[in-house]
Chain A
Amino acid sequence: MEKVYVCGVGATPISEHWEFSLRDLMVEAASRALNDSKLSKKDIEAVYIGNMSSGVLQGQEHLGSLFTTWFGIPGVSAQKCEAACASGGVAFHQAFLAVASGVYDCVLALGVEKMSDANTYDVTSALIMADDQDYVAFTGVSFVGLNALIYRRYMEKFNVKQEDIALFAVHDHKYAVNNPLAQYRKAITIDTVLNSPVVADPIRLLECAPIGDGAAAILLCSEDLVKKIEKDNVIEVVGSAAATDILSLHNRKDLVTLNATKIAVRKALQMANIEIKDVDIVELHDAFTILGVIHLEDLGFAKKGEGWKLVKEGEIEKDGKIPVNMMGGLKARGHPVGATGIYEIIDLVTQLRGEAGKNQVDDAEIGLAQNVGGVGGTVTVNILKRIR
């Protein structure tokens, strides 16, 4: 297996980009990544594009060829990867495999989602496509609703109060203040969170990642190419894994554990030859506050039922035991569905490069990004390490 390095990153801010189309966003992110890398268009040999809902919300498929045409790299291999909200992480994993296999030296992993052209009801219909259309979407449950089923179960099983779980949203907003790309850059209080409207009982509006548009891109390259471009800081992708779980909650035995996280993190750690305690910073997929808590447990940072304690006791803060979501997480940085997996990794890279400003975690050397599709139907875990 060849070594794989990050040689360029770039992303658009996350917002309701009324002026920019899906293709505009893809091209912008790719351009920024390319500039960051100091490589040129002709160096790109393959592209993997993570996206969940371009078909249903934009009437647009075939993003691979659309991108290479609009970006001006005709002939290059390019395809869409889809795994619901884990599409970005999966695109990155595919790009990693493409370089690690030795077939390609320079591969672009891109994630994009354009959600604001559709009204909220239609977006809600699109998002539930992450679960079984015939037997789950059929009931009228929304994606938020599925997570609410987990939330209620968790609170009852472990006797945990909502206000302790909802703290995750407060945490994310605090760090998004210093992230220029973030969708929401204002701090919020726990009272504001708990008093926001109920979306699917018990989940409140401010416990949910927002709907927004964005695109993010990462260029991955081989050892040979990295040596040629002489970068100051070298970041290697030391672990990359993907796993699936039983698609629907009602078919699983345990409603409060995402098995796919456990499998993916184990495989990724194994590939990286490290243990979870070696990880310095984490980007996890807190589309809802309850997921933030559960991921801390499934990744191995806390015992089942105790993830919320890490939040309450400040252990996930910048100077805590395990800094988490240091650039705003899904709640505040934003969650343009198919792009999130890439944004997470870029947030890690920013930290590992020492470019995180006020949010900088000291001596961040190893970072882990977890990206989740559906209610854990797919999970990717990618581990990055600063080499120098």
Chain B
Amino acid sequence: MNVFASSVSRVWREQKYKYRLLGGECKGCGTRFYPYRRHCYICGSEDVKIIELPRKGRLITYTIIYSPPSDFHLQQPYIVGIVELDDGTRVLAQVTDIHPEEVKNGLRVEAVFRKYREQGEDGIIEYGIKFRPSLK
């Protein structure tokens, strides 16, 4: 198990950004990004507003993982992709509720709250946002 990434406090610290898809909007240059960070990585401005990103978008690239890192080893195969949300912000996330053979670029997707991993049988559960094919 990845000892260092799995610290409870560390998971807790990032929770709200993951649960609510909280990004940042730089007041300096207008860039919107995920996740939120205090300093804009494009222009360096420290005037970044925290925003709730749109929940729908489309898949612009993806892969299917067949050789996972240790914590994910029983989940294979799973799909990871970059979703371009309807406001242009891009997010990296798993794509769920779809068979690997059915995924393709351009797929309309929507955000859903799912389990990413469990820290063993008796550890905490890490939740976050994945994307699934849009219902409508």
Please give the residue numbers on chain A whose beta carbons come within 8 Å of chain B beta carbons, in ascending order: 56, 120-122, 124-125, 128, 133-142, 144-145, 148-153, 156, 197-203, 246, 248-251, 255
Contact = CB atoms under 8 A, between A and B. Distances in A.
B69 A140 contact: yes
The secondary-structure label for the interface of chain A is helix
Contact of B70 (A122, A135, A144, A199): A122
B91 interface: yes
Contacts of B63: 141, 145, 148-149, 151-152, 200-203
Nearest to A251: B33
Contact of A121 (B33, B60, B70): B70
Interface in B53-73: 60-73
Interface residues of B, number: 40
Contacts of B33: 251
Contact of A200 (B65, B90, B128): B65
Contacts of B94: 139-140
Contact of B80 (A125, A145, A202): A145
B87 interface: no
B92 interface: yes
B92 A140 contact: no
27 contacts: A120-B67, A121-B69, A121-B70, A124-B70, A125-B69, A133-B4, A133-B5, A134-B5, A134-B14, A135-B18, A135-B34, A136-B92, A137-B69, A139-B94, A139-B116, A139-B128, A140-B80, A141-B63, A141-B65, A142-B67, A148-B63, A152-B63, A156-B105, A200-B63, A200-B67, A248-B92, A255-B60
Interface string B1-40: 0101100001000100010000000000000011100000
Which of B10, B81, B82, B105 has the most chain A CB atoms inside 10 A of its CB?
B82
B72 A138 contact: no
A148 B61 CA distance: 9
Contact of A199 (B34, B67, B75): B67
Nearest to A136: B92
A138 B116 CA distance: 8
Given A142-B67, A149-B62, 17 more contacts: A121-B69, A124-B67, A128-B69, A134-B14, A136-B92, A137-B2, A140-B71, A140-B75, A148-B63, A149-B82, A156-B105, A199-B66, A200-B66, A248-B92, A250-B34, A251-B33, A251-B90
Nearest to A252: B90
Contacts of A156: 61, 105
B113 interface: no
Given A56-B4, A246-B41, A139 B92 contact: yes
B72 A135 contact: no
B24 to A, nearest CB: 11
A144 B82 contact: no
Interface in B84-109: 90-94, 100, 105
Contacts of A255: 60-61, 82
Contacts of B67: 120, 124, 142, 144, 199-200
Contact of A140 (B10, B18, B78): B78
